[in-house]
Amino acid sequence: MQRLQLDPRLEAEVRRKGYLAKYIAEATRLYGPPRFYNARELDYSLKGARDVNILYAVSDMIYVHVVRRESYRSYGRYIVVEPPESNGRLMDLVEFKLAMAIKDQDAVEDVEERRRLLLRKLEEVVQVTRTPVSYERLTGKEGRIPVYIGDYEVLRYYVVRNMAGLGFLEPFLQDPWLEDVTCRGAGNIYVVHKLFGTLESNRGFTSKEELDRFVIRLSERIGKPVSHARPIIDATLPDGSRLNLVFGEDVSLHGSNFTIRKFAEKPVSVTQLIAWNTMDERVAAYLWMLLSNNMSGMVVGETASGKTTTLNAVAAFIPPNYKVVTIEDTAEVRLPHPNWVRELARITGSAESSVTLFDLLKAALRQRPNYIIVGEIRGVEASVFFQALQTGHPGLATFHAGSVDQVVQRLVGEPIRVPKAFIPNLNFVLIQNAVWRGGQMVRRVISVNEIVSYDPRSDSIVYVPVFTWDPVRDRFTFRGRGASFLLESKIASMAGLSRLEIRKIYEELDLRAEFLKELVNRKILDYFKVWEAIKKTYEISLEDALAKLRRGSLKLTG
């Protein structure tokens, strides 16, 4: 492999794994030698790169090769590289033996525990040998199945992948850099990569029949079997990812399809959003002031606009000693607060056994939370959410809409039906969208709006856009001092400031913005390190924390 002039680390990988050596030889001929990374080494500095030829290790057995050329007009490629599947006869025998060895009392729900159980049982049913084995001659009557040592690691991989994981989909689920996995029907699967956008994978289904069989097995595996009578299901996968699955051609002209919205183990931090210019440090500082003073708001946008990402990021501004209750139908909100109560709806199809967002919201009001966060408001639960705001429980939620006027229209219309006079209990509405800049899709906070009042004479909601995004300069415009109703009439009043001292509120806004900008400048982008930095401002004051940060003496454990 020396003549290929590979990265020394990739050469070491290639020497250990014949299947990888074979792939790299062919890929290098087509695309040139790729740069090699481990998945954890990738970072957002690669985001938006036009010319990409990167191979990264997702696990000890799974590699991903991403190829995108600036000259290409079609999708870039997302190529999964894993060892060839074990001998079919061997896999059949091993699966049979494992089924006999695993008893009812061994049943476990946790995926990691199941993986360990399978590997332990595998050692009991196979005998590793240094002599090559003709698996086709095995009868199944052997006490322990002989497995050649050169095949054993691959066998372990596929036993875990197929019996503890989701088989064919497992490489996609293990890749931490994927946002979405989409199968639109027969043909290749498409993915949305956090760094490289939408890519076409080398995996897919050759026929509708093959896809139907897979969809049926997948739905049975997660305990929600599909049928022609029940062709659509929503479910949460073991890793927390959201699955939407549609079966058959009755409701989908292209046949069965599915989409997986990946669950991120670690949320994106607010400083990362600032670094991406999703918002600037002044917008973030303003949100910090609102949330640290118990203001309620909604993060609003259209599909795939990054609402939940922004909600997770700014929720770190909620005071660290608060009790926070989150209510979701799919577990996507992730908080660093130690006193965090996490509630998840359960929809079974039966009214008696289902637990809805509406039910959980009513229960949350009896738990004395300092903040209530609803992952996404869609229906009648909005009435309880606004009743909670009216009784003094601050809250946050995401909502599908494109403007404040659309938010009001959806809230007062069917099926939500919140009285318009209740809407000013919401203090702010942040509008976020996905926009195209420089040939790539990015997220931007389009505006941050303060809800001022309800005017009964005109039956309208009065609101003020305090921050707006300038699409020409890609910058955020602040209306300036004297423009914020919330800062001047609510937060200043809560702080005991007179009208003559209003400037102190804007000075604090500037100070918080400087603190966040310093974090960005020092590349403190990890979610939990940012959380630690925010906690420090409560422990030693914002001024002292900023001074220590500038000196490089603010200790952050993350």
- Is 238's pLDDT higher than 60? yes
Going by C-alpha positions, the residue among 345, 111, 343 that lies closest to residue 237 is 111
pLDDT at 517: 97
- The tokens describing 233, both together, are 């299901």
Is 28 part of a structural domain of the chain?
no
Going by C-alpha positions, the residue among 298, 305, 296 that lies closest to residue 278 is 305
Is 375 part of a structural domain of the chain?
yes
- Is 347's pLDDT higher than 80? no
Is 239 part of a structural domain of the chain?
no
pLDDT at 358: 84
- The tokens describing 16, both together, are 């250990």
pLDDT at 409: 95
- Is 171's pLDDT higher than 60? yes
Residue 482, phi-psi category: left (phi > 0), alpha (psi -120 to 50), beta (remainder): left
Is 87 part of a structural domain of the chain?
no
- List the beta bridge partners of residue 121: none
Q: Please, which pLDDT band fits residue 2 given cuts at 50, 70 and 90?
A: very low
At 182-231, the pLDDT tens digits run 999 999 999 999 999 889 999 999 999 999 999 999 999 888 899 888 89
- Is 1's pLDDT higher than 50? no
pLDDT at 44: 82
pTM over 0.75: yes
Q: What is the pLDDT averaged over residues 164-178?
A: 92
Q: What are phi and psi of 147, to 5 degrees?
A: -130, 125
Is 543 part of a structural domain of the chain?
yes
Q: What is the pLDDT averaged over residues 465-474?
A: 96
- In the chain, % of residues over pLDDT 90: 60
Give the integer Cα–Cα distance in Å for 468 and 471: 9
For all residues of the chain together, what is the average pLDDT? Answer: 90
- Cα-to-chain-centroid distance, residue 319: 23
Please tell me which residue, 544 or 330, carries the higher pLDDT value: 544
- Is 141's pLDDT higher than 70? yes
**CA distances to 143, 200, 346 from 97, in Å:** 10, 38, 36
Is 57 part of a structural domain of the chain?
no
- Is 406's pLDDT higher than 60? yes
At 512-523, the pLDDT tens digits run 999 999 999 999
Give the integer Cα–Cα distance in Å for 189 and 203: 6
Give the integer Cα–Cα distance in Å for 372 and 360: 11
Give the integer Cα–Cα distance in Å for 94 and 87: 11
At 474-489, the pLDDT tens digits run 999 999 888 899 999 9
Domain count, the chain: 1
pLDDT at 170: 93
CB 259 within 8 A of CB 233: no
pLDDT at 384: 84
Is 85 part of a structural domain of the chain?
no
pLDDT at 351: 66
Query: Where do runs of H (alpha helix) occur along 102-252?
Result: 111-125, 149-163, 170-174, 208-221
Give the integer Cα–Cα distance in Å for 184 and 191: 11
CB 173 within 8 A of CB 241: yes
**CA distances to 83, 99, 374 from 86, in Å:** 8, 18, 46
Please tell me which residue, 381 or 35, carries the higher pLDDT value: 35
At 82-107, the pLDDT tens digits run 999 878 888 888 888 888 888 877 77
Give the integer Cα–Cα distance in Å for 121 and 539: 51
Give the integer Cα–Cα distance in Å for 177 and 160: 22
Structural domain boundaries, residue 331: 270-551
**Residue that is written with structure tokens 């199944």 in the block:** 140
Cα dihedral sign for 393, 395, 401, 406? Answer: positive
> Among the listed ranges 233-242, 388-397, 411-420, which one has the minimum average pLDDT value?
233-242
Give the integer Cα–Cα distance in Å for 180 and 78: 13
Is 385 part of a structural domain of the chain?
yes
Element housing 337 (H / E): none
Please tell me which residue, 43 or 54, carries the higher pLDDT value: 54
**Residue that is written with structure tokens 């058959």 in the block:** 248
Give the integer Cα–Cα distance in Å for 33 and 12: 14
Going by C-alpha positions, the residue among 441, 194, 162 that lies closest to residue 309 is 194
At 525-538, the pLDDT tens digits run 999 999 999 999 99
Give the integer Cα–Cα distance in Å for 498 and 493: 7
CATH value at residue 522: 3.40.50.300
pLDDT at 3: 54
CB 126 within 8 A of CB 147: yes
Contact partners, residue 340, CB within 8 Å, separation at least 6: 323, 324, 325, 326
Contacts of 236-242 with CB under 8 Å at 24 or more apart are: 236/330, 236/331, 237/166, 237/173, 237/263, 238/111, 239/111, 239/173, 239/263, 240/331, 240/332, 241/173, 242/330, 242/332
Going by C-alpha positions, the residue among 54, 66, 276 that lies closest to residue 192 is 66
